[in-house]
Amino acid sequence: MDGSDIGNAMRTAIQANISTKAKLGWIIKDASNFPTITDVSSQIVDERAWAALVVSRNATSNLISAHENGDASYDPSTAMVFLYNQGRNEVAANSFIVPFPQALISSAAANFAASYASRYVASQSGNATAMAALIVAPQTLTTPISYSMNNFQPYSAPVASALTLVGSIYTIIFAFVITLSGYAIRQAIEPFLKTKDLLLLRVLAPPIFSAPIWLAYSMTSLCIKIPFNARYHRAGGFFIFWLYDFMGMTALHRGNYHVADAKVYDVLPCPPHYFNVAVSSVAITLEPWFYTSSTLVLQCRRPDLKWLCSFLRYGYGFPVYNTQQAMRTLIFNTKSHLGLKAGMLVAWIALSCFTIPLFAFIMRHRAMAAAAREAPSRSGAGPHNDSNHDLTTHLATVSTGSTQTREGRGIEERH
Q: Is the pTM of this model over 0.85?
A: no
How does strand 80-84 pair with strand 51-55? antiparallel
Ordered strands of the 80-84 beta sheet: 51-55, 80-84, 147-151
Average pLDDT taken over every residue of the chain:
76
Q: What's the pLDDT score for residue 230?
A: 84
Task: Give tens-digit pLDDT for 121-160.
Answer: 887 777 788 788 888 888 888 899 999 999 988 888 888 8
208 to 205, 213, 336, 369: CA distances (angstroms): 5, 10, 28, 32
Q: What is the pLDDT of residue 164?
A: 76
| The predicted structure's pLDDT at residue 80 | 93
Taking each helix axis as running N to C, give the angle between helix 338-374 and helix 195-218, from 0 to 180 degrees, rounded to the nearest 10: 140
Q: What is the pLDDT of residue 197?
A: 85
Specify the pLDDT at position 263: 52
pLDDT on residue 219: 87
Report yes or no: 286 and 168 within 8 Å, Cβ to Cβ: yes
pLDDT, residue 382, reads 47
Cα–Cα nearest to 157, from 105, 206, 100, 86: 86
* Segments of 147-247 assigned E as strands: 147-151
Exposed / middle / buried, residue 135 (Cβ in 10 Å: 0-12, 13-18, 19+): exposed
Tell me the domain boundaries of the chain.
Answer: 5-151, 159-364
Residues of the chain with pLDDT under 70: 22-23, 257-304, 307-308, 376-415
Contact 303, 295 (CB under 8 A): no
Q: What pLDDT is stored for residue 292 in this prediction?
A: 31
pLDDT of residue 194: 83
- CB-CB contact of 81 with 119 (8 Å): no
pLDDT at 84: 93
pLDDT at 273: 37
| Rounded distance between C-alpha atoms, residue 167 and residue 242, angstroms | 12
Rounded Cα gap, residues 366 and 370, in angstroms: 6
Cβ contacts of 72 within 8 Å, gap of 6 or more: 136, 137
pLDDT, residue 379, reads 54
Classified as helix, coil or strand, 51 is strand
C-alpha span between 320 and 190 (Å, rounded): 31
